[in-house]
Chains A and B, each alone.
Chain A
Amino acid sequence: MSLEIQNLHVRIEEREILRGLDLTVRKGETHALMGPNGSGKSTLANTIMGNPNYEVTEGRILFNGEDLTEADPDERARAGLFMAFQYPATIPGVSVANFLRMAVNARREEPIKVKEFGSMLGENMELLKIDRQFTSRYLNEGFSGGEKKRAEILQMAMLKPEIAVLDETDSGLDIDALRIVSGGVDALRGPEMGSLIITHYTRILDYIKPDFVHIMLDGRIVREGGPDLADTLEEQGYDFIREEVAAADAS
């Protein structure tokens, strides 16, 4: 049970953004992905999810052994992939509750019973300390940055993916919200879920201890290690890695 990315090259508007990226995330594992602005982290997340704006020119994405490189996003989602968006879209006229019901039903033969849905929703809202009335608002319309991130994690909690990619879910959260949302993500972790957490800060990693840390630079993963790599990075910034990479390229 795993997501395997092999030699991934991705282009947007004639520019190569990902340049041969390899990464494997197994169920039950937590990976952190860090990298400077513009290094291609969101590009990777979007490509994993099948955003049609991103063109894969080389390489493959395998999920549980199956090649999903050309699959439509809805197919990937139903197979068990999930992405929490860095910038989630607004869906006017569709309430959070209705949207969740639609998404839950999309992966079932029989529509979920009202009661079952209600109790599942109640539990997850409790977990993420979300107000009842929140679910009758239109999805992301007029949501604050923090509310949008919470709504993303609420969706993850409801959809129970096998592999989740969280793109900067911690950005824009205040300290309390960060604790609640990270706590929620942590509670959802387990042997049944693997996650790839894209972040700029080690703070979220205090709540969600990663098993592996990957550092991305210019569309490639250039360093991999354990949780302490994140700390080294926080202390020294990206420059030391840039220098190392430059030295390695030169030799």
Chain B
Amino acid sequence: MPASSADWLADARQAALEAYEAEPVPTWRRSGFWTTSLRNLDVDALEPRRYEAVADAAELPAVVRDALDDEPGALIVQRGGSTVHLRVDDDLAAQGVVVCSLEQAVADHGDLVREWYMRRLSETEGKFPAATAAFWTGGVFVHVPKNVRVERPIQSVYVIDEPGTAQYAHTLAVVGEHAECAIREYCLGDDIDGQALHAGAFELYARPGAKAKVAHFQDWGRGEIYDISTKRVEIARDAHVSWVPVHLGGRLTKQTLDIVTAEPGSDMRHTGLYFTERDEHLDLFTTDLHEAGHTTGDTVWKGALTGESRASYEGLIEIVENAQESHTYLQTHQMLLSQKAKGDAIPSLIVKTDSVSASHGGTVGELDEEQIFYMMSRGIPRIEAVRTLVEGYFEEVVQRLDDPGLEALVRRRIGEKLLAAEDQVREFVGHRAGAAQEA
């Protein structure tokens, strides 16, 4: 029998199913022009798809192979609804590190999974979190035991390469006390001709004294892939997590990303990046939640928009009552690179205690004409100046990935997107230069 027949899990799925059925398909509205609507998504036409496992990574879909340019310590790949590939290096296994599908983990490590499963997530958060909790298949489980230090990254991949796919995904990661590791999760889509859905949940628990580097790399390609996900990271006493979500593509993305410093001494570094193009729609809401005093946070989110894309980033810092001596700040920037792109970047703050320091700032802007002139005055052509400035703008956040392979991938993709948008950017920047001259 599949592992997911465990009674406790069956009960949890049942509760989630009921919550799912009770909820209508949501539309997310905020004051101003912003609405995220799923009216163009035909959910009923989608279904979970099953695939055969492949032992050799060379047989994985090309879109996955292209993103794997260095050798991770463990690799798990879910295609559609099925875990199709799993490799864990012997040295990791010898250290007691567990990387496997969540289904498998329910069978093999039932107590451990049950202890942590959906501690910080709930099926009552809305239609899609409920759907994910009710319908997930495959999934990813990572456990790094106490005091274990893993050198090479642990990598999970969710891939969608056929239209009509509904992928319900759930990743659970527990980094034990004083353990250290890097986890990177990729969400990759082929340029499919048609619709698909990724409804995902991600939860990570960094136990006391742990150190974790967590990266999310999302690039759903040029197809109509919708991503509605909730990601949550909890940091225990004296633990440190650096979390870097990167959004580089998807027809519509609606994500809630929360990072919680839950106990004294816990420290977060939260860094995000997005680049939207064509008619993409990106809606992100992040919360840095300080649940205890003597916690620290440092958040930077940067985005750029081309085409007719829409991007909204809202970043909240919340410091609860009695969380004194917390120090945190959040900066967000957004750069418009075409005339028809539209977006906003909104930082906000809820502080329910005193003796904390919390600051936040946000800007939405365009490229600076003086910077372009400066570069051109050194002989650098306008379009190259623009490209360099945009890449330079992102460099701060790219470097916070602290992972040369992934940094190179992100830089390459940004470069490609800028090249694809070259004409609009030229027109946009040129138009403004012309306007400046007329003024």
Contact = CB atoms under 8 A, between A and B. Distances in A.
Given A88-B374, A93-B396, A102-B388, A52 B379 contact: no
Nearest to B433: A52
Nearest to A158: B378
A138 B370 CA distance: 17
B436 A92 contact: no
Nearest to A87: B370
Q: Is the interface of B mostly helix, strand, loop or mixed?
A: helix
Instruction: Specify which of A52, A90, A92, A155 lies most central, judged by the most chain B CB atoms within 10 Å of its CB.
Output: A52
A74 B376 contact: yes
A13 to B, nearest CB: 6
Interface string B373-397: 1111111111011001101111110
B373 to A, nearest CB: 5
Contacts of B371: 89-91
A42 to B, nearest CB: 13
A82 B380 CA distance: 12
Interface in A98-134: 99, 102-103, 106-107
Contacts of A82: 377
Contact of A72 (B376, B394, B395): B376
A245 B13 CA distance: 91
B18 interface: no
A229 interface: no
Nearest to B370: A89
Interface residues of A, number: 31
A24 interface: no
Contacts of A49: 373, 377
A233 interface: no
Contacts of A93: 391-396
B390 to A, nearest CB: 9
Nearest to A89: B374
A102 B388 CA distance: 10
A106 B380 contact: yes
B52 interface: no
Contacts of B370: 89
B368 interface: yes
A137 interface: no
Nearest to B434: A52
Interface string A133-166: 0000010000000000000000100010000000
Given A89-B368, A91-B389, A103-B380, A55 B437 contact: yes
A83 interface: yes
Given A52-B433, A92-B393, A77 B388 contact: no
Contact of B377 (A13, A77, A94, A102): A77
A51 B373 contact: yes
B376 A77 contact: yes
Contacts of B384: 102, 106
A136 B391 CA distance: 16
A86 to B, nearest CB: 12
A53 B438 CA distance: 9
A61 B388 CA distance: 29
Contacts of B377: 49-51, 73-74, 76-77, 82-83, 85
B389 A106 contact: no
Nearest to A106: B379
B428 to A, nearest CB: 15
Nearest to A92: B392
Contacts of B380: 74, 77, 102-103, 106
A179 interface: no
B392 A72 contact: no
A80 to B, nearest CB: 10
A89 B371 CA distance: 6
B379 A138 contact: no
Interface of A: 13, 49-53, 55, 72-74, 76-78, 82-83, 85, 88-94, 99, 102-103, 106-107, 138, 155, 159
Given A13-B439, A51-B373, A89-B368, 14 more contacts: A52-B433, A53-B369, A73-B377, A74-B377, A77-B377, A85-B374, A88-B374, A89-B371, A90-B371, A91-B374, A94-B391, A102-B380, A103-B379, A138-B395
Q: Which 6 A-B pairs have the closest CB atoms?
A: A93-B392, A93-B395, A77-B379, A106-B379, A89-B374, A73-B376
Interface of B: 368-371, 373-382, 384-385, 388-389, 391-396, 433, 436-437, 439
